[in-house]
Amino acid sequence: MTTAPSPETDEAPQPATPAAARPGPWRPLRPLVLRLHFYAGLLVAPFLLVSALTGFLYAGSFQAEKILYADEMTVPVGDTKLPVSRQVAAARVAHPEGDVTAVRPSPEDDASTRVLLSGVPGVGEGHTLAVFVDPYTAKVRGSLEQYGASGALPLRTWIDEFHRDLKLGENGRLYSELSASWLWVITGGGLVLWFSRARARRKLRGSSGRRRTLGLHGNLGVWAAAGLFFLSATGLTWSTYAGESIDELRTAVGHATPSVSTTVGGAGSAQGGGGGGHAEHGGAAAGSASGGASADGVGLDKVLAAARAEGLGDPVEIVPPADASSAYVVKQVQRSWPEKQDAVAVDPGTGLVVDVVRFDDYPLLAKLTRWGIDFHTGTLFGLANQILLMALMLALVVMIVLGYRMWWQRGRGSAFGRPIPRGAWAQVPPQVLVPLLAVVAVLGYFLPLFGIPLAVFVVVDVILGEIAYRRGGREYGKDAAAGVK
């Protein structure tokens, strides 16, 4: 985010060259890219700053959660784990309120089993109460509110919700979508401006003041660019409006995330498969049941055994039938590499597997979406993934601070800078301008929180230019022809 003129604007005028006499299509585009980068950096940066700070905290919350909730999450290793049904029965004795929504059997020797209850008084909407049970003794070790498919506990839940919507609900999600919609634009504009003038970059070496700030800002942006592009793209996959467009596109090309059929006796409503692009940062554990874990049928132990026979290793989640015509769903919930996202449906009357979905059979876009979201949330590569995300967020914070510092150093923060010279659009060759406008229009349609603010930026810039013109400012057409940025 270079919220200041590009490096060459601080240089002394250079003698005209044959190349300068024949400007290519880039030369008239550069002032437009500069002003877009400037306005977006200046006005969107506060939202990006909140996203970066809360994203940094979220990446660190995984390790903090293990420490803070160690008593509930871990148990002394025993000899033999008890049947899951006994563990669930113990949880229900301790917490008879609500309905069993899902069960996550102990995935490791020292891990507790989680029994998830919905409809519990005092538990937030869309959240569940996780009852932690010692798998060796069936002793209840405690209970905590849980949120999302990743099993976030109170600390991570609070940070997650603040990162996603500022604790303002659905309307608050617009802030995070705005950040994701513009992060790639600001990053791309900065790269174009930075690499377009190698000679000007060399002049930054050993410089001081605003030039030094610009050098630090630009170099850091180059190193962080790939990660920022990735975070922007993956953040859009589960946003409100852009995410819906992405889901529709995936469905249209046959790359939607498949899900296992839960209707006993035939294909019907699907539930509990791998989870779509919105499975993280917004969904409680899938499924619902009215006492499903203790309902009539073959029972949880035989259902789990049937899933094991199909090759579903830990960690898994068992979702009880939603009604009399539905099956149990057992699905793998490992979000670290390698992904384990297979799912099976088991007939509660016979214990037979009636449907299977394998992660290996997911369409390519569905796999990429799953991997992208898990990398974005810090689960795909575990601790290394989380450290990388924290480093990216710190880099973004520093770039934002440096960008505002350049703005202050240039004009002491007293003005928005010079408007785009009049005539800049007119000097862009039609063969470049027409496709450019078409691309912007398409992007604005599918990414409304890019398109609408862009229209606002243009209107503001035109108004500022008109005010300066009426006050007797410079002759914009001449400035544009001279290449003033």
- Model confidence at 437: pLDDT above 80: yes
Give the start-to-end residue ranges of the domains of the chain: 7-60+166-242+383-482, 74-157, 256-376
pLDDT tens-digit profile of 14-42?
444 444 444 555 677 787 788 788 888 88
Instruction: State which CATH number among 3.10.450, 3.30.1380, 3.40.50, 3.40.30 fits the domain covering 74-157.
Output: 3.10.450
- Model confidence at 4: pLDDT above 60: no
pLDDT tens-digit profile of 318-343?
999 999 899 999 999 999 999 999 99
- Model confidence at 479: pLDDT above 50: no
Question: What confidence category does residue 211 fall into, taking pLDDT thresholds of 50, 70 and 90?
Answer: confident
- Model confidence at 393: pLDDT above 50: yes
Count how many Cα atoms sit within 13 Å of the Cα of residue 471 in the half-sphere of its side chain. 7
pLDDT tens-digit profile of 225-251?
999 999 999 999 989 999 999 999 999
Computed over every residue of the chain, the mean pLDDT equals: 84
The three-state secondary structure class of 287 is: coil
Tokens of 392: 């990216």
Average pLDDT over residues 75-98: 97
Tokens of 215: 């050098």
% helix, strand, coil for the chain, step of 5 = 55, 10, 35
Q: What is the pLDDT of residue 238?
A: 85
pTM score of the predicted model: 0.84
CA distance 116 to 136: 19
Alpha-helical regions (H) of 342-429? 364-376, 382-411
Q: In what order do the strands lie in the sheet with 316-319?
A: 140-146, 128-133, 113-118, 99-104, 316-319, 328-332, 343-346, 353-357
CA nearest 267: which of 365, 349, 356, 358?
Answer: 356
For residue 315, say if its preceding peptide bond is cis, omega within 30 degrees of 0.
yes
Percent of the chain past pLDDT 90, that is, above it, reads 63
**Cβ within 8 Å of residue 357, ≥6 positions away:** 258, 259, 260, 273, 274, 342, 343, 344
- Model confidence at 186: pLDDT above 80: yes
CA nearest 91: which of 112, 110, 74?
Answer: 112
